[in-house]
């Protein structure tokens, strides 16, 4: 960007009433990130001398998140005076008084806004030498948004909020995206003249447009090319719409980079997930958080993976749940109805059926029998199980952690493994089986089982 200074103000102080939620609106999740997280990722990708985030409603929750995830952001608290104009005014009071550059304003509830659009907006504003440049969009259904009112000369005259608009103004399809860039000094002056004579009794940032125009300062509008980028989220219907669109885009991008996704409609992939070439993702699969899927891996159908790593050529599912900290080695397998958590499963090792593997380390080339439980929790603390390499554990084992099974060891079916099994040993604690002759014939006479047993006996 040019030598002229740029600061970014992110609006996140509103009450988010339309979400009807105990969670602040900008903290709602979208593809594995909060709404604010999406906006902050974009804001911090720009070259600015500061990103100012305005907070008020439920500020403790948002502030804690920002301090942890975006410590360089400058948090500004809005006072009891409401409105987007007031929000910008209080942030300007924190920006150095001698700052002569431009102020980019974006909204915490417009999550798909991207770096390219903002960079283009800054460039257009500077080459157009405007006092303010507003990002606008032409929407088929503009309801809810502020409308751009242009004068007979085609120039922006003002912005009218939906609630304050006349019939004729409501028919205008060009809307205010809530993304603007202002010359800092002109903005300061205009903000000082803001009134709150409107339907909501708030100090609207949108009124700055008319104030600038009246003062002889040119205001430009840049029409966005992709309307989804300016989709604001005010309620959960809009949240779901944007989530679906973002998911479509994420799936499409992976498909174009060499991943087979059979049914993008039922596949949900978070923004931070990575997937290797020629991996296959079957329907109804959810890849969440910081999850990474290796090349040639096969996942699904109906699999949920959270904050986990699946290495090259490994197979997961159908019907598996990989919770945080699962690391499935190259060519390994986690099969049907298996749940894992904090489990490192080595190269080529398999947990094929009906098991729970929690807090475990399994070496390479081992096989865990069907129906096995890693009993990691003693009711107070969690403990780790260590299974070596090339181990064969029998079906329906319980590994009572902490426990260690050596390389090449076996355990018998039905064993409750309470003591370590050393390398090469067979571990078993199954009581001998007893069979009582003719029990069915004597105790269940007249049943089909007794009949079948009698038939065999007379042979």
Positions annotated as catalytic residues are: 353
Query: Minimum CB separation from ligand UD1 for residue 106, in Å?
Result: 9
Per CB under 6 A, 161 contacts ligand UD1 = yes
Q: How far apart (Å, rounded) are the C-alpha atoms in residues 286 and 299?
A: 10
SS3 readout for 39-107: HHHHHCCCCCCCEEEEECCCHHHHHHHHHHHCCCCEEEECCCCCCHHHHHHHHHCCCCCCCCCEEEEEE
Q: Which tokens go with 197? A: 């004579």
Per CB under 6 A, 391 contacts ligand UD1 = no
The closest alpha carbon to 240, from 19, 13, 7, 10, belongs to: 19
Per CB under 6 A, 133 contacts ligand UD1 = no
Please, what's the b/e burial string for 17-42 (b: 16 or more CB within 10 A of its CB; e: otherwise)?
A: ebbeeeebbbbbebbbbbbbbbbbbb
145 neighbors 139 (Cβ within 8 angstroms): yes
Nearer to ligand UD1, 158 or 350 (CB): 158
Q: How far apart (Å, rounded) are the C-alpha atoms in residues 101 and 187?
A: 11
Q: How far apart (Å, rounded) are the C-alpha atoms in residues 397 and 244?
A: 42
Question: Where does this chain touch Ca ion (CB under 5 A) — which range of 103-111, 238-246, 311-319, 371-379?
Answer: 103-111
Question: Where does this chain touch ligand UD1 (CB under 6 A) — which range of 105-113, 129-137, 209-217, 276-284?
Answer: 105-113
Interaction partner, residue 145 (Ca ion, ligand UD1, none; CB < 5-8 Å by kind): ligand UD1
Query: Minimum CB separation from ligand UD1 for residue 133, in Å?
Result: 15
Q: Which of 6, 40, 87, 208 binds ligand UD1 (CB under 6 A)?
A: 87
90 Cβ contact list (under 8 Å, min separation 6)? 54, 76, 77, 78, 79
Interaction partner, residue 220 (Ca ion, ligand UD1, none; CB < 5-8 Å by kind): none
Read off the DSSP letter of residue 433: P
Per CB under 6 A, 82 contacts ligand UD1 = yes
| Residue linked to tokens 């080695």 | 329
Contact pattern for ligand UD1 over residues 203 through 232, marking x by CB under 6 A: -xxx-------------------------x
Nearer to ligand UD1, 65 or 319 (CB): 65
Q: Which tokens go with 304? A: 């949920």
Q: Which of 110, 219, 242, 293 binds ligand UD1 (CB under 6 A)?
A: 110
When CB distances to Ca ion are compared, the closest residue is: 232
Per CB under 6 A, 365 contacts ligand UD1 = no
Dihedral sign from CA coordinates of 425, 429, 434, 435? negative
The closest alpha carbon to 226, from 309, 110, 308, belongs to: 110
Interaction partner, residue 175 (ligand UD1, Ca ion, none; CB < 5-8 Å by kind): ligand UD1
Q: How far apart (Å, rounded) are the C-alpha atoms in residues 7 and 395?
A: 62
Instruction: Find the angle CA(98)-CA(104)-CA(109) to the nearest 5 degrees.
Output: 135
Query: Minimum CB separation from Ca ion for residue 250, in Å?
Result: 23
Q: Which of 31, 43, 62, 109 binds Ca ion (CB under 5 A)?
A: 109
Total of residues contacting Ca ion (CB under 5 A): 3
Instruction: Please give the residues from 229 up to 248 whose contact with Ca ion meets the rule CB under 5 A.
Output: 232, 234
Q: How far apart (Å, rounded) are the C-alpha atoms in residues 202 and 196?
A: 5
Nearer to ligand UD1, 56 or 333 (CB): 56
Per CB under 5 A, 186 contacts Ca ion = no
Instruction: Please give the residues from 345 up to 364 whose contact with ligand UD1 meets the rule CB under 6 A.
Output: none
Query: Minimum CB separation from ligand UD1 for residue 191, in Å?
Result: 13
Nearer to Ca ion, 232 or 335 (CB): 232
Per CB under 5 A, 202 contacts Ca ion = no
> Which positions touch ligand UD1 (CB under 6 A)?
11-14, 54, 78, 82-84, 86-87, 107-110, 145-146, 159, 161, 175-178, 204-206, 232, 234
> Which positions touch Ca ion (CB under 5 A)?
109, 232, 234
């Amino acid at each position: 960007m040019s030598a002229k200074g740029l600061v970014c103000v992110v609006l996140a102080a509103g009450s988010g009433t339309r979400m009807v939620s105990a969670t602040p609106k900008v903290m709602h999740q979208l593809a594995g990130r909060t709404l604010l997280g999406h906006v902050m990722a974009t804001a911090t990708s720009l070259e600015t001398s500061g990103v100012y985030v305005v907070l008020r409603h439920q500020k403790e929750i948002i502030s804690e998140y920002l301090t942890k995830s975006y410590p360089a952001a400058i948090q500004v608290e809005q006072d009891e005076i409401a409105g987007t104009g007031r929000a910008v005014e209080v942030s300007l009071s924190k920006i150095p008084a001698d700052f002569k550059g431009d102020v980019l304003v974006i909204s915490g509830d417009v999550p798909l806004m991207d770096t390219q659009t903002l960079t283009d907006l800054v460039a257009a504003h500077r080459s157009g030498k405007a006092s303010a440049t507003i990002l606008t969009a032409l929407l088929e259904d503009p309801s809810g948004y502020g409308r751009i009112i242009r004068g007979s000369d085609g120039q922006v005259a003002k912005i009218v909020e939906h609630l304050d608009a006349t019939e004729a103004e409501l028919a205008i399809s060009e809307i205010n995206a809530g993304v603007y860039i202002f010359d800092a000094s002109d903005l300061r002056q205009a903000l000082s003249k803001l009134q709150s004579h409107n339907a909501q009794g708030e100090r609207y940032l949108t009124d700055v447009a008319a104030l600038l125009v009246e003062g002889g300062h040119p205001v430009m509008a840049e029409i966005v090319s992709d309307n989804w980028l300016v989709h604001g989220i005010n309620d959960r219907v809009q949240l779901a719409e944007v989530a679906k669109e973002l998911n479509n885009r994420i799936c499409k991008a992976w498909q174009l980079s060499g991943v087979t996704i059979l049914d993008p409609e039922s596949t949900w992939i978070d923004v931070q997930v990575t997937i290797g070439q020629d991996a296959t993702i079957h329907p109804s699969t959810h890849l969440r958080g910081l999850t990474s899927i290796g090349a040639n891996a096969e996942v699904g159908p109906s699999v949920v993976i959270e904050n986990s790593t699946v290495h090259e050529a490994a197979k997961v599912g159908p019907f598996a749940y990989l919770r945080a900290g699962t690391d499935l080695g190259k060519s390994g397998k986690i099969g049907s109805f298996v749940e894992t958590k904090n489990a490192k499963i080595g190269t080529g090792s398999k947990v094929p059926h009906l098991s729970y593997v929690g807090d475990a380390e399994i070496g390479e080339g081992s096989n865990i029998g069907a129906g096995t439980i890693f009993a990691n929790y003693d009711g107070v603390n969690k403990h780790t199980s260590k299974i070596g390499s090339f181990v064969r554990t029998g079906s329906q084992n319980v590994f009572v952690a902490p426990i260690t099974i050596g390389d090449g060891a076996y355990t018998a079916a039905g064993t409750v493994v309470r003591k370590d099994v050393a390398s090469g040993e067979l571990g078993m604690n199954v009581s001998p089986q007893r069979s009582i002759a003719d029990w069915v014939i004597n105790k269940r006479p007249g049943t089909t089982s007794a009949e079948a047993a009698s038939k065999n006996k007379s042979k």
